[in-house]
Structure 1
């Protein structure tokens, strides 16, 4: 019995995260026959649903739907709160609800200069109560709400702090760390991240605002993000294509489960002031469909991680032992997948719990039971979002592992393309062949037969 021959990887198939086991031309054609129509359908969907920008509307002046300008705090003077309570001097946010009786003690009177817009250079006074959560300092950059229909002295008010510089600095540190550690792969990841944000802001959000079905928009947009991100980061290879197929199947499962359980649980998607404002400004938007779209898009990033990891694990296992069949590859790689499932599902649940922590605190203060908390729509949305995403995540591991095992082991005997000038079936250069000769006589009756012939 001869030992199995190792595959010889052509230079063109090498990849920065390790050489991928080559597949035959026939198998590449099969993968292309599946993915090319899918990619074409995504391109057609983008073209048909492309919004061309968010629709215009008249600002309501409420919440985020306010005209804003930039400003800077130039002076701060202490003042007795009794001297300003009941006056026409605006406080930190005139649109915020009252918190109780007027404050007493020492307030701060901040002089704020408008630094953008048609009133650039204009100043106004803002009073900061001593118990206000946001306190100002001189030269602080702030965001101003502008109400053109209000009296002149009340047209501007401070609505938030300008955080552009610290956020930009943090983003720069993140990009530098990714490039320093990931090098070319890290740079490609940043390019893919920028492309994902472009699809989100230029296609998904405006298309939903224009009245397109949120579920269809989310499926098309998520598919475009998946194709762009995976192929940019991991290359146009059979290994990446298998990860794309596994991600696609899992996204379809998430969409199906999400649609069924969001409808069954009677989740409206209109649960807080932000979604209420969206529904008020654009009543034609299907809010439950918007909720489902959020589930699909939110699950995509974690799915990419799992499917790429599982596909790479199968390829590396095959490289280590090319004699392994699809079942052996699946059993070995699924053990890696089980560890991945345990950690990622826990990550998903904790991420959603952390986002809903203030809400959970309110329920805890009210001493509500677990059943009451889970039954409320605010929490039920997060439960459905978490569980549907986790089911799709769990399903992606066996699905992607099985696909990768079948693909990588389907052409074990055709692991290399024929070398230039070689003849099919010939011995590769440098490999010895057994000398021709008679086959060895089988043991047992074969030997007695020769003696009888003599």
Structure 2
């Protein structure tokens, strides 16, 4: 027979999720905003397969002989949409930096504004490979995580839905981006930790610590940005975002810091949960552990986590900017110019503010856990009497 409390908890989850998804549906279906001025209406995108290369004028790039450039006249079979099964033709312009040569059997994304009388080649069709990679990810998580793995996947899906269908519509409606990010951070943290571990002490400990430390990352990033005159306006997409904001209520300036909050969430949540879980397990094995002993153990566990998690954040942000950093390096840009580049400053703020939040999660989680798990007067270890 099921535990009544467990049944109530399950029912509460069902009601919450049903209500939340109903809200998301209404929120997104009623979202009304003016499209950007250069929005092209009536263009149709479909998937197609090359069935014949009718003619081609291809050859090596004069400066880089390992790159083939030129033109291809392709005959294509449309694979999706209302024009599925029909054939069409397109000229594929193969350029140095937009290099997508095709052969018979290659699957492409094509577009048209006149029912594929005139057809343009947009890109390779790559989604099938992404689906295979996603399936591999899901299989690995389920294989090694079993029930917890399934809950992890559900939590990840919930977070993605929050970002796509709550965070983005909120900022399009004109909500302050940092406030919208805070809503997503708190909601994602609560749902993820509750779904993985249920309502218990370690869940509450990790959730409170994660929320506090992630917010602190946002505060640090925002303060550093203000002092160093950095905002979303210093990013490469700023001009396009400003153009879009002309026709919407979008607030561009603080998008950078909202992104930092969301980016730091995963690493901080991982750190907080690891420490909370470790200390809870230790306390259950040895209930006589004192608050001081729990604090010491939590800090020792945290120090082991610290190096790998901070490296993860720094390397992730560095890796995303590797190409442009290599370009600046090869041009021997002086240090004083390099260290003050908008791109570099933005990435340093992202990486270091997230890393600071991860490090702070160690003492904050340990402090909360040692107090919450100790629960009263220190218990002294009982020594059995000698026989």
TM-score (norm 2): 0.81
Unaligned runs of 5+ in 1: 1-11, 13-38, 83-98, 415-431, 434-454
Q: 1:270 to 1:400 in 2, by over 3 A?
A: same
Comparing 257-266 and 182-191, the one that deviates more: 257-266
Partner of 1:208: 171
Match of 2:278 in 1: 313
CA distance in 2, matches of 1:335, 1:365: 42
Is residue 109 from structure 1 mapped to residue 109 from structure 2 by the alignment?
no
Q: Secondary structure at the match of 1:134?
A: coil
The aligned counterpart of 1:355 is 320
Determine the structure 2 residue equivalent to 1:137: 103
**By how many angstroms is 1:144 displaced?**
2.1
2: CA distance between counterparts of 1:410 and 1:125? 72
Cα pair 2:210 2:269 within 8 Å, conserved: yes
SS, match of residue 72 in structure 1: strand
- Give the secondary structure class of the aligned counterpart of 1:368: coil
Q: CA deviation at 1:370?
A: 3.1
Residue 67 of structure 1: CA displacement? 5.3
Partner of 1:249: 212
* 1:195-224 CA-partner distances (Å, limit 9, x unpaired): 111111111111112221111111001111
1:369 equivalent among 299, 316, 334? 334
The partner residue of 1:331 within 283, 288, 296 is 296
Separation in 1, partners of 2:82, 2:205:
55
Instruction: Identify the structure with bigger relative contact order (alpha carbons < 8 Å, sequence gap 6+).
Output: 1
* Alignment CA distance shift 1:79-1:245 (3 Å): closer
CA contact under 8 A between 1:61 and 1:67: conserved in structure 2? no
Rounded Cα–Cα distance in structure 1 between residues aligned with 2:78 and 2:275: 54
Which residue of structure 1 lines up, in the alignment, with residue 354 of structure 2?
389
Q: How does 1:96-175 map to 2 (within 5 A)?
A: 107-117=71-81, 120=84, 121-129=86-94, 133-147=99-113, 155-175=118-138
Contact 1:271 1:377 in 2 (8 A): yes
Q: Residues 124 and 58 of structure 1: is their aligned pair in 2 closer, same or farther, counting only changes over 3 Å?
A: farther
Q: Secondary structure at the match of 1:324?
A: coil
1:408 maps to which residue? 373
Give the alignment's Cα RMSD to 1 decimal: 3.5
Q: Report the Cα offset of residue 52 of structure 1.
A: 4.5
- By how many angstroms is 1:315 displaced? 1.5
Structure 1 residue matching 2:104: 3-state secondary structure? coil
Q: 1:233 to 1:324 in 2, by over 3 A?
A: same
Query: Residues 199, 182 of structure 1: CA spacing in aligned structure 2 closer, same or farther, 3 A cutoff?
Result: same
Deviation by residue 1:101-123 (Cα, 9 ceiling, x = unmatched) = xx998753222344445655251
Aligned to 2:7: none
Distance 1:334 1:104 in 2: 57
1:170 Cα deviation after fit:
1.2
Whole-angstrom distance in 2 between the partners of 1:405 and 1:67:
59
**Residue 72, structure 1, aligned to residue 38, structure 2:** no
Partner of 1:228: 191
Q: Deviations over 1:225-278 (max 9, x none)?
A: 111111111221111111111111112212221221222222231345544323
The number of residue pairs the alignment matches comes to 353
- In the superposition, relative to structure 1, how do residues 249 and 104 fare at CA in structure 2: closer, same or farther (>3 Å)? closer
Whole-angstrom CA distance in 2 between matches of 1:392 and 1:105: 48
